[in-house]
């Protein structure tokens, strides 16, 4: 694997070395002071352990076979890594307007603060050393997912990273592994996967999430069991177990603060740690009735800070579900996609996990020939904006909303295109991937 970073050279001039060192030390001191001043982001979220090597948000390159880091200041790639793997080609013209409900495996990336781990298209986990911008040797391979043949639904996560913890679950038998990561930014994954000690066993049709403090949450749709595995020192404590009444087919899980939230993939009912026997109702638009699959097409938000609500995305939009009776007050923001869950082209619509930051929610949908996205902060409904890249005629993978270190981008999981939402509408696209045929990183 190779990496590319901007580098510079200083001529060997002994008479100036002391001056250069003094100035460099002064600059470093000023930068540290600036980081201390901006220890709270504009969205009100506290910055945890911000290091000068943190760089920005990581993205995956889809069929380019790369990963990259987007510099938060330059709105451009400052590191490109090879080795993310190929995506198989597919002829969409075989059956016009239709395709297999199976999910193509694309490269992905997990991240939080200075920690980042790549996922290859073959399912290998690859730790990054974010201090040097280098990829480490490949680690464990993700277990095969529990089969859902013929089912159209949003696949829950079987690996997650947050709060200094990376966790993985075997969705077929419910074995859960987790390790604490080196605070310096070097991701050692040797404690994950078969052969390593498990932190819990919960049963099949399982999914996993990690909360903002590193505690591991996992659910089994087969057994109806939810486990909460707390961080203790450099490891984990005994699992805390709760039973919920779900239908045994599929389940999704996330966290708000340190509380888990679970969605029954069959009924759409939403259970939460504060009231595990009193489920909430899925917002309208989650069911794809004409398919007759019995599964909902809905995704819970990415794990985030403590809140009285959880965001849920469906084909029709993104809305909040109250988790406490006393929430009341103003109507929360809502995003309306304008898409019809009953449309015959529903299979070419890919939903994703929304991101909630303070009072704002950001969501994206992938369609055959476009990307829909919106950020809503004010009470009431918000419509979407559309990005229509040239040349797209079909979609096998969705669009990820990537967030890290105060930066938010959209990442097309199949093409690798990256859109920086902090830029003007006509300048959103920022990716500069190497040419796939050569698989070499650009210089400079």
List pLDDT tens digits, range 201-243.
Answer: 999 999 999 999 999 999 999 999 999 999 999 999 999 999 9
pLDDT of residue 444: 33
Q: Is the pLDDT of residue 381 over 90?
A: yes
Nearest 5°: the CA angle 177, 180, 185 is 130
Q: Is the pLDDT of residue 136 over 90?
A: yes
Examine residue 1 and state whether it is found in any structural domain, yes or no: no
* Percentage of residues of the chain with pLDDT beyond 90: 62
Work out the widest C-alpha separation in the chain, in whole angstroms. Answer: 78
Examine residue 24 and state whether it is found in any structural domain, yes or no: yes
Least confident window among 14-28, 227-241, 283-297, 418-432 = 14-28
Examine residue 27 and state whether it is found in any structural domain, yes or no: yes
Cα distance between residue 12 and residue 300, in whole Å: 56
* C-beta of residue 255 within 8 angstroms of C-beta of residue 261: yes
Cα distance between residue 277 and residue 272, in whole Å: 9
- At residue 85, the 3 state secondary structure works out as coil
Cα distance between residue 440 and residue 64, in whole Å: 10
Examine residue 387 and state whether it is found in any structural domain, yes or no: no
At 78, phi and psi to the nearest 5? -115, -10
Examine residue 35 and state whether it is found in any structural domain, yes or no: yes
Q: Cα 350 vs. chain centroid, distance in angstroms?
A: 14
Q: Is the pLDDT of residue 29 over 90?
A: no
DSSP 29: H
Examine residue 28 and state whether it is found in any structural domain, yes or no: yes
Cα distance between residue 444 and residue 441, in whole Å: 10
Q: In this predicted model, what pLDDT tens digit does every residue of 254-270 receive, in sequence order?
A: 999 999 999 999 899 99
pLDDT of residue 438: 41
- pLDDT-based confidence at residue 393 (cuts at 50, 70, 90): low
Cα distance between residue 378 and residue 21, in whole Å: 49
String of DSSP letters for 106-137:
--EEEEETTEEEEE-TT-EEEEEETTTTEEEE
Nearest 5°: the CA angle 160, 166, 167 is 65
- At residue 290, the 3 state secondary structure works out as helix
pLDDT of residue 437: 45
* C-beta of residue 202 within 8 angstroms of C-beta of residue 220: yes
pLDDT of residue 4: 39
How many domains does the chain fold into?
1
- Which residues are CB-neighbours of 435 under 8 A, at least 6 positions away? none
- pLDDT-based confidence at residue 293 (cuts at 50, 70, 90): low
132 or 54, which is more confident: 132
**What pTM value is reported for the model?**
0.83
Examine residue 29 and state whether it is found in any structural domain, yes or no: yes
Q: Is the pLDDT of residue 290 over 60?
A: no
Cα distances (Å, whole numbers) of residue 354 to 82, 289, 365, 402 = 28, 23, 10, 10
pLDDT of residue 143: 93
Q: Is the pLDDT of residue 154 over 90?
A: no
Least confident window among 16-25, 36-45, 341-350, 360-369 = 16-25
Q: Is the pLDDT of residue 2 over 80?
A: no
Least confident window among 62-76, 102-116, 396-410 = 102-116
373 or 276, which is more confident: 373
- Selection from 369, 379, 257 nearest residue 328 by Cα: 379
- pLDDT-based confidence at residue 369 (cuts at 50, 70, 90): confident
Neighbours of 7 (CB within 10 A): 7
177 or 32, which is more confident: 177
Cα distance between residue 58 and residue 416, in whole Å: 12
Q: Is the pLDDT of residue 160 over 50?
A: yes
pLDDT of residue 12: 38
89 or 401, which is more confident: 401
pLDDT of residue 153: 77
Q: Both tokens of residue 300?
A: 């819970």
Q: Both tokens of residue 32?
A: 């540290």
Least confident window among 144-158, 388-402, 424-438 = 144-158
pLDDT of residue 435: 79
**Range among 57-61, 149-153, 386-390 rated most confident:** 57-61
pLDDT of residue 99: 36
pLDDT of residue 198: 98
pLDDT of residue 142: 95
pLDDT of residue 131: 93
Average pLDDT taken over every residue of the chain: 81
Catalogue the long-range contacts made by 109-112 (C-beta closer than 8 Å, 24 or more residues apart): 109/58, 109/59, 109/60, 109/67, 109/402, 110/159, 110/160, 110/161, 110/166, 111/57, 111/58, 111/161, 111/402, 111/404, 112/161, 112/162, 112/163, 112/164, 112/404
**Overall average pLDDT of the 403-408 stretch:** 93
- Which residues are CB-neighbours of 104 under 8 A, at least 6 positions away? 87, 88, 90, 396, 397, 414
The parent domain of residue 25 ranges over 17-41
- Selection from 31, 117, 26, 8 nearest residue 404 by Cα: 117
Q: Is the pLDDT of residue 31 over 60?
A: no
Q: Both tokens of residue 393?
A: 């005629």
């Amino acid at each position: 694997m190779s990496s590319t970073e901007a580098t510079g050279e200083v001529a060997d001039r002994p008479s100036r070395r002391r001056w250069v060192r003094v100035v460099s030390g002064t600059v470093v001191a000023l930068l540290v002071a600036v980081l201390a001043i901006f220890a709270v982001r504009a969205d009100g979220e506290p910055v945890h352990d911000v290091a000068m090597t943190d760089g920005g948000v990581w993205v995956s390159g889809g069929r380019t076979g790369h990963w990259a880091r987007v510099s938060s200041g330059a709105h451009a790639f400052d590191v490109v890594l090879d080795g993310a793997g190929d995506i198989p080609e597919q002829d969409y013209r075989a059956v016009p307007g239709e395709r297999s409900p199976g999910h193509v495996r694309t490269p992905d990336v997990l991240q939080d603060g200075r920690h980042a781990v790549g996922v290859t298209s073959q399912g290998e986990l690859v730790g990054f050393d974010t201090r040097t911008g280098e990829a480490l040797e490949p680690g464990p391979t993700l277990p095969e997912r529990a089969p859902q043949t013929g089912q159209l639904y949003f696949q829950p996560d079987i690996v997650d990273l947050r709060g200094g913890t990376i966790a993985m679950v075997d969705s077929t038998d419910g074995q859960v592994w987790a390790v604490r990561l080196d605070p310096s930014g070097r991701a050692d994954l040797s404690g994950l996967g078969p052969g390593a000690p498990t932190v819990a066993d919960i049963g099949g049709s399982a999914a996993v999430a990690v909360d903002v403090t590193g505690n591991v949450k996992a659910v089994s749709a087969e057994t109806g069991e939810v486990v909460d595995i707390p961080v203790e020192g450099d490891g984990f404590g005994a699992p805390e177990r709760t039973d919920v009444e779900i239908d045994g087919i599929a389940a999704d899980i996330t966290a708000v603060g340190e509380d888990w939230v679970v969605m029954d993939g069959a009924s759409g009912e939403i259970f939460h740690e504060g009231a595990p026997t009193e489920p909430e109702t899925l917002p309208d638009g989650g069911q794809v009735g004409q398919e007759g699959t019995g599964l909902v097409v809905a995704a819970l938000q990415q794990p985030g800070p403590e809140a009285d609500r959880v965001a849920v995305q469906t084909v029709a939009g993104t809305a909040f579900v109250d988790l406490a009776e006393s929430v009341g007050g103003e109507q929360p923001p809502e995003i309306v996609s304008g898409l019809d869950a009953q449309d015959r082209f529903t299979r070419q619509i890919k939903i994703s996990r929304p991101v909630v930051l303070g009072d704002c929610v950001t969501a994206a949908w992938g369609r055959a020939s476009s990307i829909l996205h919106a950020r809503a902060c004010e009470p009431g409904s918000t419509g979407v904006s559309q990005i229509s890249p040239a040349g797209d005629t079909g979609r096998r993978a969705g669009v990820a909303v990537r967030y890290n270190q105060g930066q938010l981008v959209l990442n097309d999981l199949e093409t690798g295109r990256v859109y920086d939402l902090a830029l003007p509408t006509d300048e959103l696209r920022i990716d500069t991937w190497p040419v796939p045929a050569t698989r070499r990183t650009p210089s400079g």
